[in-house]
A and B are shown apart, each in its own frame.
Chain A
Amino acid sequence: MILTTDLARLTLITCALIVLLIGLKRGRRWLDVMRVLLPTLVLFMLVAGWSGGYEAAFGAALRLIALAGAGVAFFSTTPPEELGDALLASGAPSQAAFLLEGALRFTPMMGQLAREVYEAQASRGFRFDRRNLLHNGPLLLTPLLISVMRFADDLAEGLETRGFGSPQRTPLAEYRLSWRDWTLMGATVLFAQLILW
């Protein structure tokens, strides 16, 4: 049922999502994502169309559009750290909650490390253009790996100094279900019923 190929249903879902996105003022964000996804979308349609005809092609496209829309709607309205807090509040282990926040905090840092390694090696005259990348790759990978592992060690110490090993953890935000949440959940169930059955 979830994997429906019925074009009418898919169109309805996609339209509903677009209305939702515009209502949430995330329409532009979604368009940006779709622009990046456009080549994938075309490829997707071609492959599906090749094996299953027009209907399959449009079905595949609508599905991708709907998925991207749902992703944008969720992640643009829910900051990962709040998602972590919510998970924590609903009883998930604190490590899982930290994973979300930690990824957000340290991903840019890893990029910075990679840039520093590249700059250090390029300064020594090593070349990393297309022809030399394969041969000189280890020159980037080894220092990067060692720097990252070293950082991971430091991070483990950093976490321990803050008492992270403790079994307790107070969620930093409190989440209570209000009438709006119940309404939204009711509407979602109703909509799913209408579409899928």
Chain B
Amino acid sequence: MKPLVVCEQVAYHYRDGTPALHRLDLTVEPGEFVILAGASGSGKSTLCRLLNGLIPHLHGGHLTGRILVDGQDTLHTPPYVLSRQVGLVLQNPEAQSLATTVARDLALGPACQGQERASIAARIRDIAAMLAIEPLLDRQPGALSGGELQRVAIAGVLALNPHLLALDEPFAFLDAAGATQLRDTLRLLHQRGVTIIVAEHRLGEVADLATRLIVLHEGRVVADGAPRDVLAHDILQWGLEAPPLVRLARAAGIDAVPLTLDEAMEVLPLNSDLQHPLPTLDDVSSASPVIAWENVSFSYGSRTVLSQASLSGASRNIVGLLGANGSGKTTLLRLGNGLLRPQRGTVRLQGEPIGKRPLWDIARSAGLVVQHPRRMLFAPTVQEELDAGPRAIGRYDRAWIDHVIEQCGLEPFLNRSPHQLSAGEQRRVAIGAMLASRPSALLLDEPTAGQDATSRRMLHSLITSIARDGMAVIIATHDTEWAYTLCSRWAVLGSGMIIAEDAPPAICAQAETMARAHLRVPAIEALRYMPGRTIAHLADARVI
């Protein structure tokens, strides 16, 4: 069979001269399901953009070597011709839905190919049926959830009937329900003969579906083979984290590489020592809370988001606020620092109701780090970014800011522009900028969204050290694997209320709560509650 993608000695430098890929050789056969793994900046996004000609036709830069897709040289084929061979789904699905309704959006690709109106309509019907998005066809893209929007984006490029579907970090912003649906979609497309390339660093999401795992590191292919073989290596050296089950097996001293729960059940003997670190901070919820939401309700127009939700956070406490996308986590955080005021109920900071306190005054007590750091970074240098907030609220303390710089590991970038930093570095600058004002409560909105393994680890230890400084930390997240070992307490949002609040292992034991909030059970807890294994077995076996 003729290979679908051939890369020969491909080297690429961005327009500003930064090298991205070094003499890459790669062949992808039709029908493969490839994971293109690598940390941020490894070159995986660049490779995706090379496949459909966005590089160099849109982005410029210096490209040498040769890339053939379906026999066509991408250097001499414009992107609109390549779009018939390669469907590329980008990280921001919002920028890939381009029309006022979903149906019109799906029609755009075929219309640009000059297809007949009747065949365009037929193609849209087929694609919509395959991806189960018929109910969305007449809706406006702006009104869709992140997961829905992404399925529409996939449908949009599939409408051109490409042989190859490439996705750039598709799991970055999905919750557990969205991720499961995406897995099903990818499995289905692969069965139908579409070749799939997923650029991703969350290997646990797709490792069991893929036929091949390629690891990119600093622009080079450092590993290439069946996922099980590659994962047997130490991939941490390339800034990647093995799937949770593989890490558990390794910690138990077992050589096998389990990719699914069933496999893990087989290889992990019942009495094996499953080691998993637990949070080192005590839950001190009995202490007087720094921040408290008391029976707060909030609606946007007729849409009720929160009704009678109560939560509190005390000093040195890390509370995980968990829930599906759209469950009201962000709204609760925005009520916490006064961006929104509850329609019913009270928010208290250090015991005092915030009432009509102005935002700039609340900023001394509660700091909110929003999900996208790019929305707040404005200064020419990181140092100025850190100084601006404390100056604005009259709480500038040189010694404290120096402590924050050290804590967040920002020394190397102090004189650089925050806009030139990587996603992980920008996240730490954003957190540092809030910390610099020394609030007593820190509220974080989805801090691990779009972050790679190295960055997630750094955030884990950063947040632990922030709590040790005496702050109350509340984290809205759906990253349960990460929050399991970080938080002393989990509060689960569902139907506008806190439906459960307890230590993470206790929450995981409530299967119904986890399912209702679309939360993924962390690997160790999932194993614990597999049928056939009694809780006592593992409770004894676990080394804490």
**A156 an interface residue at 8 Å Cβ cutoff?**
yes
Which residues of A are found within 8 Å of B434, using beta-carbon distances?
123-124
Given the contacts A81-B104, A154-B92, A161-B90, A166 and B114 also touching, CB distance less than 8 Å = yes
Once the chains bind, are B334 and A125 in contact (CB under 8 Å)?
A: no
Instruction: Give the distance to chain A from B101, nearest Cβ to Cβ, in Å.
Output: 8
The one of A109, A165, A171 in contact with B79, judged by C-beta atoms closer than 8 angstroms, is: A165
> Interface residues, chain B, CB within 8 Å of chain A?
49, 52-54, 57-58, 78-81, 83-84, 87-90, 92, 94-100, 104, 107-117, 120, 141-142, 156-157, 160, 334, 337, 339, 358-361, 363-364, 367-368, 370, 372, 374-378, 388-389, 392-393, 419, 433-434, 437
In the complex, per-residue mask of A68-81: 1 if CB is within 8 Å of any chain B CB, else 0 = 00000000000111
The one of B120, B372, B393 in contact with A170, judged by C-beta atoms closer than 8 angstroms, is: B120
Once the chains bind, are B114 and A168 in contact (CB under 8 Å)?
A: yes
The one of B142, B334, B375, B419 in contact with A105, judged by C-beta atoms closer than 8 angstroms, is: B142
Which residues of A are found within 8 Å of B53, using beta-carbon distances?
160
In the complex, 13 of the A-B residue pairs with CB atoms within 8 angstroms, ordered by the A residue number, are A102-B98, A125-B389, A143-B376, A151-B94, A154-B90, A160-B58, A161-B54, A164-B112, A165-B80, A168-B113, A170-B115, A170-B116, A171-B111
How many angstroms between the C-alpha atoms of A159 and B156 in the bound complex?
Answer: 11
**Which of A13-21, A24-32, A58-66, A114-122 participates in binding chain B?**
A114-122
**A181 an interface residue at 8 Å Cβ cutoff?**
no
Residue in B87, B100, B117 with the greatest tally of chain A CB atoms within 10 Å: B100
Which residues of A are found within 8 Å of B363, using beta-carbon distances?
123-125
A127-180 with Cβ < 8 A to chain B = 127, 136, 138-139, 142-143, 146-147, 150-151, 154-166, 168-172, 174
Once the chains bind, are A162 and B83 in contact (CB under 8 Å)?
A: yes
Once the chains bind, are B112 and A162 in contact (CB under 8 Å)?
A: yes
Once the chains bind, are A161 and B78 in contact (CB under 8 Å)?
A: no
Residue in A109, A125, A161 with the greatest tally of chain B CB atoms within 10 Å: A161
Which residues of B are found within 8 Å of A98, using beta-carbon distances?
98
Once the chains bind, are B79 and A163 in contact (CB under 8 Å)?
A: yes
Task: Using CB atoms, name the residue of chain B closest to A113.
Answer: B375
The one of A105, A113, A123, A155 in contact with B337, judged by C-beta atoms closer than 8 angstroms, is: A123
The one of A127, A157, A172, A174 in contact with B360, judged by C-beta atoms closer than 8 angstroms, is: A127
Given the contacts A125-B364, A125-B393, A109 and B94 also touching, CB distance less than 8 Å = yes
How many angstroms between the C-alpha atoms of A106 and B295 in the bound complex?
Answer: 37
Which residues of A are found within 8 Å of B120, using beta-carbon distances?
170, 172
Once the chains bind, are B111 and A170 in contact (CB under 8 Å)?
A: yes
